[in-house]
Chain A
Amino acid sequence: MIALGCIALGAVLLMLLSAMPKVRMEHCSLFAFVTLLIGLILTLTSFGELFTFFPLPKFFHKMLIVDSYSVYFDAIILSGALVTSLIGTHYFQTKRHFKKEFFSLFLFSVFGMMLLVHASELLSAFIALEIASLSLYVMIGFQKVHDKRVEASFQYLVLGSLAGIFFLLGSAFVYAGLGTTILGEMGNRLDTLMGKDVSLVIIGATLILVTFLFKISAFPFQNWTIDVYDGSSLPVSAFMAATFKVAIFGFILRLMLVDFDPIRDTWDTLFIVVIIATLLYGSFLAIIQKSLKRMLAASSIVHTGYLLIAFVSIGYAGESAASSIIYYLVAYFLSAMGAFGLISYIAADEHVRVTYEDFRGFAHVHPYMAAMLSVFMLSLAGIPSTIGFVGKFYIFTGAIEAGYTFLAVCGVVATFVSVYYYFKLIALMYFYPACDSDWKDVPSLKGITPLTIGLIALAIIWGGIGNTFIAYFPGVDFLIDTARLSYMSLFIK
């Protein structure tokens, strides 16, 4: 909770500071970084404990909640933001068009995301969602190179607002059906209504789910994804793909697990169709892309599909499916962050689009970067010895445990297709002779950005191999245990 306040305070302060002419962009960047770091440290103090309470009940009236679950997500969001700012350091410095306000907006969006996972009431969740989204709309437009940026920003703004309206309408329906919008109480009232007509609630919840599906770019609301990711600067794409998705899942999981548990079966068939379509269409989109950034954007749709598999499994394999989502979010976050970050680092000085072909023979010129990029691709493809593999293992196990073997097979088929578009990059980097002058502009491996990316690559391998040989060091088990713990905290009465 203090962490939340710290980020909010930091955001406001930074906004005021950025108005002063003496303050330079580097200062703002540093300020944002320090704020995030303090927030993360504050969060980690209560990480791994089992608790739940409503902060300042007289003041907030159960609109916000603090429990192990929200703290876990806070930690992911804050580390995501930290990593974004670390990875972006180089990018922000070389592309001079980032203004000082950018970092204030950045902190505001982090604040919105954290608020979202703390939200214990539909309207405060909506406000949180809009804080995060509005900041992102502007952040997307914050670049001058790409002529698509205005289009991207507007497309996301218009469609995102439309999706937001569904959320409001859904909340109204839920309120009409249950007489409350407070999480927890909605669930209790729904329990008492069982056996009666709850169609109002179902309609309302479905509308809320539409917003959710839009924000995580599931089929049939995926069309904006590629254009928006492509149009925004790389650190922002990474931030959206990895961190924002975490926050959205954080809220919707809470809503589904705690409140709409009794009626969740209603959407089973719908979800199965959505999952299959998401996997199929996402894979198709990813295969046909020539630009790496667009491929990563398209493949993020496929990863949404995997997450939804776990999401629908929650009904029958609650604990393991829920913790598998949380784990997979971490796995995807690391891999996507690394991939986006490294590509943004490589392409920071150039004005070209980064296509597959640009990477021909890259490994012979920059072996370390190529190795790191390969690690990220392998992890995204879910090859053993990376964290992506363990994440997929949890998701598919959860699906089979819940009786959705068919969905697990669909996921496996999508994985198998994904091997093609991820390995294509590795093959291009390694198996062709280097072109002479193409990669002279690439910055050398110095400074904070490559160090962060390298650490991410190590973390990916570490998460995949686990802590068999070195005890007392957090590894796979630690992550999954804390994920379980945070799941349990949802059900403390």
Chain B
Amino acid sequence: MGILSWIIFLPMAVACVLLVLPVGAKATRNGAFGVSLVIFALAFYVHEHFVPSAQMQFYEQYDWIKSYGITYRVGVDGFSLIVLMLIATLLPSAYLLLWHNERSKSYWISMLFIQSGISGTLFSLDLFLFYFFWEAMLLPVFMIIGLFGSGNRVFSTLKITVYTIMGSLFMFVSILYLGVSHYYEFGIWSFALSDLVRISSLTQVQEMFLFAGFMIAFAIKIPLFPFHSWLLETYSTSPTGGVFLLSSIMAKLGVYALVRFTMPLFPDLFVAYARFFIGLGIFGLIYFGIAAIVQDNIKKMLAYSSASHLGLITAGVFSLNMQGLTGSAFLIVAHAIATGGLFLLVGVMQRHLGIRPLSALGGIAKRAPWFSVYFAIMLFCTVGIPGTNGFVAELLIVLGIFHYNPYLGVLAALTVLVAASYMFWVFQKAILVQSGNDVSHMRDLSLHEIVGLFPLAFLIVAMGVYPDFFLAKITPTLHYYLDTILHVGANA
């Protein structure tokens, strides 16, 4: 077993052991945290030994279902590496922030299963395997929201499950269709990505349908504009950990899968419909931005602002040039860190103050200075203040879109500013200004929360000040995507 398999299966194995052993919630939590640190170490090892090139590295392959050519094959390239590092860094931090939140064993067990699921999704290079993890990942999320959510949680759990499974099933049909086409064209069964990209027998119409199958699945997960109706309910009923996972990891995996699978499988359609998806992305940016302004609940507001940024990320991916793609990769990281951090902080606040509307907050800065400082850093990153990685990322994406089409670029540039500026208003109203509301129960962050958030804050600043360091390993991969897969040229 190679190192990637360890990263995938270690959390699952530990979860199974902890599930059977008669240990309490605390021991399980410590175990989960320990595992996340080990995973971080492994990921760091992968990062250090990753040679900056477009090749798949740490490649592993085993037969799985031989009669259909289904294999277990995993590997990392520059793009998955950056997402891997993101997840490996975020999870220990998140665990520290959730330390006192959840006192149930099954919560931490589910978290471990989810960690396995996301790593598996990230490394899969066989479409069957990918679908396997993609769906299996949903079950622990289902459990976390259903068991630990608030409000009308059962309904919203069923809703998100049915919704996402609907999307994935369309993708499933597309995957099967590709497999069968490969069989008819080459005479052997295979579901490996590297084999399926060679299919040339599909007609335009067939490709359109298959492309749509994939896009629906990813658009629901991200979520892109017309497929977002699960978002609000799910985010507002989920427990903190659930929201954190959905917004900063699962949504990013949607974008990741878009690049990993739809780009090489349907390069022509990817280029042909780029304009449409940029438009959809920018529309989402504006639409969700406006929706965020009118919310009176921080969690709901963050949910929409998160969707708004994901629109921008999608637009960057489809801008088909180096700036846009780099910017998207960068914003995936920046936004995951910032939104994840914000959701976790809001979780801390809810633990002290209960669930409150925005209008019942105010004057938190005085009671909780550490909290406010971290909140501010995350917020600046989300808005894209110079000096944070959010700024670098958004600038690159806007440049990329501008490169693609100046009008769209101008539109994107304007809306980025408008859509994010309401965040300041929230910050001012909820944190800074003294109001008559009673916030005396609010307490500042404890030591492990401060420690847990430090890496995130550090990354925000470090990536903002010195982005080249973080781009070195990903650039060859992105060049490869543009030159070899899409044939649009990296410097076009």
**Considering the chains assembled together, what is the distance between the CA atoms of A384 and B137 in angstroms?**
10
Residues of A within 8 A of B166 (CB): 416
Hey, what's the 0/1 contact readout for A419-433 against B, CB within 8 Å counting as 1? 110011011101110
B interface size (C-beta, 8 A): 37
- Is A385 located at the chain interface by the 8 A CB criterion? yes
Establish whether residues A397 and B179, one from each chain, have CB atoms under 8 Å apart when the complex forms.
yes
Whether the Cβ atoms of A401 and B183 lie closer than 8 Å is yes
Interface contact B172-A427, CB-CB below 8 Å = no
Q: Answer whether A419 and B161 are a contact pair too, CB < 8 Å, given A384-B131, A400-B176, A430-B147.
A: yes
Contact A420 B158 (CB under 8 A): yes
| Other 20 A-B pairs with CB < 8 A, given A384-B135, A468-B72 | A383-B139, A384-B136, A385-B136, A389-B132, A389-B135, A396-B176, A397-B179, A400-B173, A400-B180, A408-B176, A419-B161, A420-B158, A420-B162, A423-B161, A430-B146, A431-B157, A432-B154, A466-B64, A477-B65, A481-B67
Q: CB-CB < 8 A to B161: which residues of A?
A: 419, 423
Which residues in window 127-144 of B have CB below 8 A to A? 128, 131-133, 135-136, 139, 142-143
Task: Answer yes or no: B48 CB below 8 A from chain A CBs.
Answer: no
User: Is A397 a contact of B176 with CB atoms below 8 Å?
Assistant: yes
A residues 389-439 in Cβ contact with B at 8 Å: 389-390, 393, 396-397, 400-401, 405, 408-409, 412-413, 415-416, 419-420, 423-424, 426-428, 430-432
CA distance in complex: A96, B488 (Å)? 77
Bound complex: CA A384 to CA B136 (Å): 6
In the bound assembly, the distance between CA atoms of A416 and B216 in angstroms comes to: 14
In the assembled complex, B408 has its CB within 8 A of some CB on chain A: no
Q: Are B173 and A480 in contact (CB under 8 A)?
A: no
Give CA–CA (A396, B174) in the complex, Å: 11
Q: Does any Cβ of B come within 8 Å of A459's Cβ? A: no
Against A, the Cβ 8 Å flags (1 = close, 0 = not) of B448-467 are 00000000000000000000
* Cβ–Cβ contact B65 & A476, under 8 A: yes
What's the Cα separation between A401 and B180 when bound, in Å? Answer: 6
Closest to B153 in A: A431
Instruction: Give the secondary structure class of A's interface.
Output: helix
Chain B contacts with A in 45-75, Cβ cutoff 8 A: 62-68, 72
Question: A408–B170 Cα gap in the complex (Å)?
Answer: 10
Interface pair B162/A468, CB less than 8 Å apart: no
Q: Of all chain A residues, which has the CB nearest B72?
A: A468
B385 at the interface (CB under 8 A from A): no
Interface size class of A (residues with CB under 8 A): 35 or more
Query: Are A378 and B139 in contact (CB-based, < 8 A)?
Result: yes
B136–A408 CB distance below 8 A = no
The 4 A-B pairs with the shortest beta carbon distances in the complex, nearest first, are A431-B146, A384-B132, A384-B135, A412-B169
Say whether A427 contacts B157, CB under 8 Å.
yes
A to B CB contacts below 8 Å, 9 in the list: A383-B139, A401-B180, A419-B161, A420-B158, A423-B142, A428-B154, A430-B146, A431-B154, A480-B67
Check A477 against B136 for contact (C-beta < 8 Å).
no
In Å, the complex CA distance between A432 and B63 comes to: 42
A383, B168: Cα distance in complex, Å? 11
Chain B residues with CB under 8 Å of A401's CB are: 180, 183-184
Chain A hits for B180, CB < 8 A = 397, 400-401
**Contact, CB under 8 Å: B173 / A484:** no
B64 and A468 contact, CB distance less than 8 A:
yes
Measured between beta carbons, the chain B residues less than 8 angstroms from A383 are: 135-136, 139
In the docked arrangement, what's the CA distance between A412 and B133, Å?
Answer: 18
Q: Does B177 contact A (CB under 8 A)?
A: yes
> For the complex, what is the distance from the CA of A416 to the CA of B164, rounded to whole Å?
10
A147 to B251, CA, bound (A): 53
B253 to chain A, nearest CB (A): 16
| CB pair A416 B66 closer than 8 Å | no
Taking a contact as CB atoms under 8 Å apart, the answer to whether A477 and B66 are in contact is yes
Residues of chain A within 8 A (CB-CB) of B139 are: 378, 383
In the bound assembly, the distance between CA atoms of A405 and B179 in angstroms comes to 13
- B94-150 interface (Cβ within 8 A of A): 128, 131-133, 135-136, 139, 142-143, 146-147
Is B158's CB under 8 angstroms from A424's CB?
yes
Q: Residue on A with the closest CB to B133?
A: A384
* B142: A residues at CB distance < 8 A: 423, 426
Q: In the complex, what distance in Å separates the CA atom of A430 from the CA atom of B153?
A: 12
- CA separation between A409 and B209, bound complex, in Å? 12
